[in-house]
Amino acid sequence: MNEIQLLSIHERTLSIVALAAAFIKENVAKVTDEHVVEKGTNSLVSYVDQKAEKILINGLRDILPHSGFITEEEMTEQGQGTYTWIIDPLDGTTNFLHAVPFFSVSVALYDGEKILIGVVHEVMYDEVFSAIKGQGAFLNGNPIAVTERNQFYDVLIGTGFPYKTEHTCDGHFAALKDILAHTRGIRRLGSAALDLCYVACGRFGAFYEHTLNAYDIAAGALIVQEAGGLISDYKGEDRWLFEGEVLACAPQFRDRMLQVTAHF
């Protein structure tokens, strides 16, 4: 796929994601308990997630008719196309259901080896983060970059916590203690896609989390990389997209953050 094709797909993707984000925004505070299904412990879904996913699938399939899909709600067959869309129609569903204004739509295009396009649309404030492989990262069309701050004590660190208690361990608390003692503080937004984008635009110096899925991180990871940041697993290796753990950071904090993730 050449650069012109990617640019066209990127622009069309932005429009489709915007439609899903607008639908979600229209339904804030309209969802009641009777609309919510608990898929598992603290894993919730409503008609809003499902309808947003339909909007995305229908639109993205028009762009690349033979593409496959990896989705959170699994409302479509994965497909066997050369290209795969990795989508989370509503990253931060629990926030959405509690009217906490941090949730997003996340869409990535994957060719089986690398992520080519990433779009994360923050719904309530209409912050649109996007990237095309090799062409930089943007927030509402303006270039972004990871923080230039050099001191670990001068940055915020983002993270998330697993919902299931069997995934918790002493390492969580050791990592938190390390970060709280040596940085400006820690933040837990409730949307991994947004956490990654906050690293990309310099709001966070780093972000780490595990027990994640590809649809949580695919788009945001490309945006971090195109903003000059680094993406790895907790050991600093490249097995992060489908292995459930991710570390994103500005390059100057890589070694220090690997000390943090070594607690696990």
pLDDT tens-place string over residues 188-228: 999 999 999 999 999 999 999 999 999 999 999 999 999 99
Q: What is the pLDDT, as a whole number, of residue 33?
A: 56
Rounded CA separation 218/202 (Å): 19
**Residue 255 CB contacts under 8 Å (≥ 6 apart), including other chains:** none
Rg of the Cα trace of the chain? Answer: 17
Domain ranges in the chain are 3-143, 152-261
- Exposure string of 114-138, with b = 16+ CB inside 10 Å and e = fewer, is ebbbbbbbbbbeebbbbbbbeeebb
Please state which of the ranges 74-78, 121-125, 133-137, 147-151 shows the lowest mean pLDDT.
74-78
Topology, domain 152-261: D-Maltodextrin-Binding Protein; domain 2 (3.40.190)
Q: How far apart are CA 90 and CA 17, in angstroms?
A: 11
Average pLDDT over residues 32-55: 69
Is 60 exceeded by the pLDDT of residue 5?
yes
Predicted local confidence at residue 131, as pLDDT = 98
Tokens read off for 141? 């069309």
User: Domain 3-143 in CATH: superfamily?
Assistant: Fructose-1,6-Bisphosphatase, subunit A, domain 1 (3.30.540.10)
What average pLDDT score do residues 40-58 get?
78
